Structure 1
Amino acid sequence: MSVLSTGAHLPGDPLDNDALERLAGPLPDDVLAGIEVRRRHWLIDPRTGEHRTSTSRMATAAARQALDRAGLEPADIELIVMSTASPEHLLPAAGTYVQEQLGLDAAAVIEVRAGCAGAVQALDIARRLLADGVHRTALVIGAESISPLLAPLYLGRDPFDVRMRDRLTLYTFGDGAAAMVLEAGGPGSAAGRPRPVFATRSLGGGRRPGMLINGGGTDLPLARQQARERLMEIRLDIQGTTKFGPHVFVTGLRDMLGRSGLSVADIDACVLPEGNAEYFSGEFDAAGLSPTDGARLKKIIVENLADVGATGSPAVPLALDAGWRKGTVRPGDTVLLLAIEASRYVYAGLTLTWEAPAP
């Protein structure tokens, strides 16, 4: 299996922290520095809350860019595997709308309902189907629309009346989509190249969710859901994620190194969904990393949190796309994709040898 190209789509103009402060009030400087986000893109109009695009349309735009870079047409694609936690509808799957917008009357479509970990899980599903000979080409897509859940937190309110915990949520998240084009065989299957290794696990059994998107499900009768202050809302356990998040990262890293037989010195790029390298680095000792390995790991992390915010499903492929375009992910590199998701403290990791020349 080879990754031929990536593509990305970020809706609208970037919304920087100064503009967001005028809408929803300020965050303390130390808190703002801690979340590391300087700008993000929202599919809603920040002033009115009106939708300017959708999850599937962003996904389609990212897919078209990836196809153009790979020199392929939509008709060349046999399989679409898409991850999102924010589809337009519970059914049909958002991936089928991407199929339709690409002009494909027929295609295999699989959807993963997940956040940050989903795109890596989707990539492994596609990889295995290509390796089994079921399909020849695949599109793997992560797309998320989080801003529609954020608008009710501040619209129609004085910015200084917005609760501080709501401001933290507003400043953290962004929308977007990213795609990867895969092809069976190719240089990535050549002798001497390490086989891809995958691992995923939820560490949140018996633990309060780090992130909960409430509403629109079947937890309560619809009449009782409609009586809530907000029909849908996003809830963060900030204290829980701060304390337990590094453990998830460390456990995922240890698992991937053990399964792959790689050492940190063997990895050329470690692609993460968010930055927080300093936040996690205090836990490197618990992963059994030497000071030398810990210092190297910080140098090879590929992420773009400051420019896009926390984006959920597209986070890893957005970072991978940015790293590929900037030349920090190069042909021949051994790449570790490691996604950490707060929902039920899930990690998903995949190693691969990068083949695509710079776009």
Structure 2
Amino acid sequence: MGVPVNGAQVFVHGVGTALPGPPVTNEDIAAHYGMPTVWRQWVDEFIGTRSRHLSVDLATGKTSHSLTDLGEIAARGALADAGVAAGDIDVVVMSTATPDHLAPSTVSRIAGRVGIAGVPVYQLQSGCTGAVQALEITQDLLRGGAYRTALVIGGDTSAKHTSPDVDAASVPLEVQVNGLIFGDGVGAAVLGTVPAEGRPVLRHVHSRLVGAGRAPGQTVYWFGRAVSGEDGVPASEDFKAIETTAAPMAADALKHLLHELSWDAEQVRYILPPQLSARMTDRTLSHLALPGSEPISRVTEIGNTGNAIPYFQLELLLPRLNPGDRAVGISIEASKWIRSGYALEQPATA
């Protein structure tokens, strides 16, 4: 890709995403589990997410896509979008809360499938803020000068925690909410230090643990009833705590970004908000004082895709950016309360 002009800057060269199978609507879930109409209405009003994509077929209980399968598709898409060959990648960083195996790492399997070899590969174990953590680490690696082109991957297959043959009516509400919020998906991006026309600069990335001494807002166990057959609750959400905490955390993350970059709120053209659920996204946006900014969100139709969220948002954002446009992305993780954010800017033309 040439010789870096300014190694201190990191550009987003391309993005790719992958979803498993057709969308699964609230009506599909209600029909499968035999839930009453009032239940579906509650889902529409309380959660707001209309559909999601699942890697487990509800009718058969069979897995259609592994995290590795989706990661390969997303990685190939990102490489193609960036116009970069697998051999040009110097380092790979992946974030996920739901790897296919404890070992070998999912990032190693994806890299091997797309033809990346002989480079360092790293896998972060984290929830929704993991994608931003991976961006932060990758930005630091690239700015350090040892690497010039990186592949960053993030995704989750949360459907493995839901059993298609469970008696849904007997499942605790916090477990139902957890299952309804999440969808499966993977995203990837190629980052590099070589300027590319029409590609934005990653100006700043940060993540902060702010939950010391607090009870977790979400707990997920290895691997859940759908896979292990063990008794007990595989995953749960303290949705009330998230309702009261997520929006203020997002506002703090935004405040940090604007302060670090000396940006005014009025200068932000696009906001990529947290995708906890459709209703929580709306609630969070109302807390973010960004007059005139345009939200980029896909949560209503694909749900909370965990570590893949920013990539689905970036996929929509990049074609819209004009010279001088600025965008900020915010991510909130309820597991132990982590807030994070990142900022992008499309360079102005000379």
TM-score, normalised to structure 2, is 0.86
Tell me, in whole angstroms, the C-alpha distance in 1 between the residues paired with 2:257 and 2:156. Answer: 26
Count of matched residue positions in the alignment of Structure 1 and Structure 2: 328
Tell me, in whole angstroms, the C-alpha distance in 1 between the residues paired with 2:145 and 2:101. Answer: 31
Q: Which amino acid aligns with 2:28?
A: A
- 1:242-301 residue CA offsets vs partner (Å, 9 max, x unmatched): 1111221121111111111111111111112315343125545xxxx4xxx4x43xx422
Tell me, in whole angstroms, the C-alpha distance in 2 between the residues paired with 1:195 and 1:322. Answer: 16
Seen in structure 2, the aligned counterparts of structure 1 residues 8 and 281 have a Cα distance that, compared at 3 Å, is closer
Per the TM alignment, residue 121 of structure 1 is displaced from its structure 2 partner at its CA by: 1.4
2:284 is aligned to 280
Tell me, in whole angstroms, the C-alpha distance in 2 between the residues paired with 1:124 and 1:36. Answer: 31
More displaced stretch, 58-67 vs 334-343? 334-343
What are the equivalent positions in structure 2 for 1:44-59 lying under 5 Å apart?
A: 44-59=56-71
Seen in structure 2, the aligned counterparts of structure 1 residues 262 and 94 have a Cα distance that, compared at 3 Å, is same
1:264 is aligned to 265
1:186 is aligned to 195
TM-score, normalised to structure 1, is 0.84
Determine which of 102, 126, 129 is the counterpart of 2:138.
126
Q: Quote the sequence identity (%).
A: 27
1:63 is aligned to 75
Per the TM alignment, residue 331 of structure 1 is displaced from its structure 2 partner at its CA by: 5.1
- 1:185-232 residue CA offsets vs partner (Å, 9 max, x unmatched): 3159x9xx9871222111111111111112369xxxxxxxx89514x7
Q: Please give the root-mean-square deviation of Cα atoms over the aligned residues, in Å.
A: 2.5
**Given that residues 161 and 223 in structure 2 are in contact (C-alpha distance below 8 angstroms), is that contact kept between their aligned partners in structure 1?**
no
Tell me, in whole angstroms, the C-alpha distance in 2 between the residues paired with 1:183 and 1:54. Answer: 28
Per the TM alignment, residue 92 of structure 1 is displaced from its structure 2 partner at its CA by: 2.5
2:7 is aligned to none
Unaligned runs of 5+ in 2: 1-9
Determine which of 303, 308, 319 is the counterpart of 2:302.
308
What are the equivalent positions in structure 2 for 1:128-143 lying under 5 Å apart?
A: 128-143=140-155
Tell me if 1:3 matches 2:18.
no
**Given that residues 135 and 205 in structure 2 are in contact (C-alpha distance below 8 angstroms), is that contact kept between their aligned partners in structure 1?**
no
Unaligned runs of 5+ in 1: 218-225
1:229 is aligned to 231
1:241 is aligned to 242
2:341 is aligned to 349
Q: Which amino acid aligns with 1:63?
A: A
Per the TM alignment, residue 173 of structure 1 is displaced from its structure 2 partner at its CA by: 0.8
More displaced stretch, 21-30 vs 197-206? 21-30
**Given that residues 211 and 234 in structure 1 are in contact (C-alpha distance below 8 angstroms), is that contact kept between their aligned partners in structure 2?**
yes
SS of the equivalent of 1:12 reads coil
1:221 is aligned to none
More displaced stretch, 247-256 vs 136-145? 247-256
Tell me if 1:155 matches 2:165.
yes
